[in-house]
Amino acid sequence: MKVTVEQIDRQCEEEMIVRCHDPGAAWVESVREAASGQRMICGWREDMMRRLKLSEVFYFEVVDDRSFVYTQAEVFEAKEKLYEFERLCAGSALFRCSKSMVLNTEKIDYVRPSLSGRFEAVLSNGEKVVVSRKYVADLKRMLGV
């Protein structure tokens, strides 16, 4: 594949044009993500697809073999399995917090213990999610505790 890099003046806006056969090809997605400096995930809602930045995601949950992405106030269905989403989030602020959920540490307001040995994380939108004891060590490591 031919790659052309053109140097432009400081006054001009930087842009990237991709000439491809298939705009939905995986490599085009990767270029798009690299250009935006963000990893993205596709969320579906009422037959409409929306591209969500990982930083927008509050948590990702699997319920009855269906995956859902939760943002500040919206819920989207996703095609990824939990392990695929976990892989996508590697190196980001998201971590596996229970058997069925991946949680964004940047959205946690505070955590509190519960008698059942688990933790309850209260998110910045007021939602409460469970953090299993098994995954608390990962949360501590990610926060630098």
Partner 1 sequence: MKIITLWIRRYVTVYGIIMLCTFFMCLLFNPASELPVVTYFGRIMVFTLIALLSLSVYYSKEELTVKAWWVRTVLHLLLLEAVLLPLAHHWGFWQSGSDILIYAGFILLAEALWHLADYGLSAKTAAQINERIRKNRLDQRTRKD
Residue 81 lies near partner 1 (rule: CB under 8 A): no
Number of residues that bind partner 1 (CB under 8 A): 24
Residue 133 structure tokens:
């004891």
Residue 65 structure tokens:
């073999």
For partner 1, the closer CB: 18 or 143? 143
Residue 132 lies near partner 1 (rule: CB under 8 A): yes
Residue 140 structure tokens:
């501590």
The stretch near partner 1 (CB under 8 A) out of 7-15, 68-76, 78-86, 134-142 is 134-142
Write down the H helix ranges in the chain.
26-36, 82-88, 133-143
Binding mask 41-70 for partner 1 (x = CB under 8 A): ------------------------------
3 state DSSP class of 28: helix
3 state DSSP class of 129: strand
The dihedral over CA atoms of 142, 32, 16, 8, expressed in degrees to the nearest 10, equals: 0
Which positions touch partner 1 (CB under 8 A)? 98-100, 108-117, 119, 130, 132-133, 136-137, 139-140, 143-145
